[in-house]
Amino acid sequence: MYAAALLAGSAGAQPATPGPIIDQGSFTITASGSAATSGRETFAIRRIAGGYQASGTVLFADRRLSPTLTTDLTGAPVSYALEARKGPGHTEQVSVVRDRGFFTLRARSPDHESVRELPEAGTFMVDDDIVHQYYFLMLDRRGGAVSVVVPQRRVVLPMRIDRLGPDSVRIGGRELPAERVRVTSDSEGECFIWVDAAGRVLQLARPERHLMAVRDSPP
């Protein structure tokens, strides 16, 4: 309720009128080299007036993340709301709104509340442990240096996108053509993403964390 009220009251937030779905699906997430399921993410990305809206649910053994991200047509964030449940009785609400050249980030938990402003210019958004939001980094075959807001950590990180060329991934028993993309950050290390011709995320790997997210079925 907290994050939703903030977004509804902001001039920068776009209406959440449902639009045509441009991508929808789920990822199975495994970690530490184990074949056992570590988590699961379901999501939908829609076109709305002036941009896109992406929402989903990410489930781990000890956490539940429920994000909603609204962007403009370039994939740059306009507003964001996240509910993060981290064990019994502990829920954190995070909201981000773009206004007058800044993002206003508000976070509230049972024992803490904070407000922070972050620079908006040239910035995109991908939150921790959420795979489908990488779609917006991939729009228009984007490459080179970018700045990325990570709302759960209240930071903006410099990253670099390198398009590594054609590859393939196996999803749902089928071998699919894909483009392999590397996203690098000095503090985060390397992340590899495989996308289809429409820029839809098929697979993600974080070698340093031995983490892999694979789409459950072809888009």
CA 132 to chain centre: 5
Give the pLDDT confidence of 148-180 residue by residue, as tens digits.
999 998 888 999 999 999 999 999 999 999 999
d(CA 183, CA 61): 27
d(CA 36, CA 28): 10
pTM over 0.85: yes
Give the pLDDT confidence of 114-138 residue by residue, as tens digits.
898 888 777 899 999 999 999 999 9
Question: Could you tell me the pLDDT band of residue 20, with boundaries at 50, 70 and 90?
Answer: very high
96 Cβ contact list (under 8 Å, min separation 6): 77, 79, 80, 81, 103, 104, 105, 106, 125, 149, 151
Using DSSP's 3-state secondary structure scheme, residue 197 falls into: coil
201 Cβ contact list (under 8 Å, min separation 6): 131, 132, 134, 135, 138, 193, 194, 195, 215
Which pair of tokens denotes residue 186? 């000095």
